Structure 1
Amino acid sequence: MRIHVHASRPRGFAALDPQRRREISSRGGQAAQAGGRAHRFTAEEARAAGRKGGQAVSQDRAHMAAIARRGRGHAARDE
């Protein structure tokens, strides 16, 4: 029986330095744009997506309560 142990070091794309990852990602984005496979959201599409996500999250009462607990006291510090 063979047991796979995950290495603690990052592998593949994650192992690259941040500048190299950025370069590769940039080329992928440029290729997607050039090939017509990328999508740019309009302001209205972005608003609709945000609204939809907010409605979905707000259905989880426990999650919303946790957000409220974390937020307590932070507003007073900003004043």
Structure 2
Amino acid sequence: MEAKLVRWGDGLAVTLPAEQVQRLGMREGQIVEIIAKTPRITLAEMIAEMRRLGPAYEPEAVDWGPDVGSEIIDDDDPR
């Protein structure tokens, strides 16, 4: 559900569509919990994307540049 922020005195108020309020059985003065989400992917979204891509999907290799120092790993190393 999307809600709108509107000015209310020195602060802001959240307005909800009337049809959603009625559908959810909400009433004026009711305490609600608001969870602020930063742009992060959720597990449900990740699973949906994996299903959309299918089991044959192979991501493209990323070229991070040449190996240097102790990060050089022999691909044939059985570790």
TM-score, normalization: structure 1? Answer: 0.29
Q: Which has the higher strand share?
A: 2
Q: Which has the higher helix share?
A: 1
